[in-house]
A = this chain, B = another copy of it.
Amino acid sequence: MYKIAVFGYGYTGKAAVEAVEAAGDMELCGIVMRSQSVSKPQVSVPVADDIGKLDVKPDAAILCTPTRVMPELAEICLAQGINTVDSFDIHADIWDYYSRLDMIAKKHGSVAVVAAGIDPGCDSVVRALFEAVAPVGKTFTNFGPGMSMGHTVVVKAVEGVKNALSLTIPLGTSLHRRLVYIELLDGYDFNEVVAKIKADPYSANDETHVYLAQDVDSLIDVGHAFNVTRKGVSGKAHNQLLDFTMKVNNPALTGQVMIACARASFKQPTGAYTMIELPVIDMLEGNKEDIIRRMV
């Protein structure tokens, strides 16, 4: 049984805990939460504010924290020989982050799986597979309709915002509309807050509409949709049409992906990996013969 610790207990952390509990080859050995102010997890394992305070050393740490604190936590774990899985989602920074963790992991005999969520993550695997089978052409990735976990966090961090929800609406061909619902803190001007939300680089290029809401929590549904579509050329044959669509509970899928990648991490040589570098078979529970007989 692989011993797993989960960092963070927001939507994704809770989902990762549930995915560990549902796995037959893993056991939860603790939850690490930096802030003790958040609601206490209802689990029978230790909850600590530092990985060193858990009863046992985990084999892997699932980092379900905000992206900005992942690098520090990953380095701490990897340096102790603990594998890490994160869903680091700043696409432009992935290569540098990956390269740094690769060096640290190799030095300490551990494995880091980075950018392992839905996108980057599952969608990356599909994009790579699509390009492999139809090398010429254009891939589009479309999100929604559904709640953007990432943009919701960004909006919540804007000064004056008390609570927020950001919905992503797909306009096709990788273009999106964002519908943002906010509650304001007392003393803040709606229009000024809207301007700050629209100026954030996360969404500055998207059509963004901001609405004042009475009760943001009453709007929250963590379902989301993801679509990767490609029209391309295989050899000399044009008009190869490829389409991948998921309509899912977003944090539940993300947590499950991270657990699958933790499993795969134990089967790789030391270093850092993105999901497109992992054989998919390594993400599955069970033995090789059974999997190949059933799946291939």
A interface majority secondary structure: helix
**A22 interface residue (CB < 8 Å to B):** yes
- A186 CB–B CB distance under 8 Å: no
- Chain B residues whose C-beta falls within 8 Å of the C-beta of A234 in the assembled complex: 15, 19, 248-249, 252-253, 255-256
Q: Does A260 contact B (CB under 8 A)?
A: yes
Contact in complex: B125, A280 (CB < 8 Å): yes
Is A193 in the interface zone, CB < 8 Å from B?
A: no
Q: Which of A15, A136, A275, A296 has the most CB of B within 10 A?
A: A296
Q: In the assembly, what is the distance between CA of A229 and CA of B178, in Å?
A: 29
Closest-by-CB residue of B relative to A280 is B128
Q: How large is the interface on A (under 10, 10 to 19, 20 to 34, 35 or more residues)?
A: 35 or more
CA distance A271 to B225 in the complex (A): 39
A52 to chain B, nearest CB (A): 27
The 9 closest A-B pairs by CB, nearest first: A237-B252, A18-B235, A234-B256, A132-B283, A237-B249, A19-B235, A132-B260, A241-B247, A128-B280
The interface of chain A, by Cβ under 8 A from chain B, is: 15-16, 18-19, 21-23, 91, 94-95, 98, 115, 120, 122, 124-129, 131-136, 233-237, 239-249, 252-253, 255-257, 260, 274-281, 283-285, 289, 291-293, 295-296
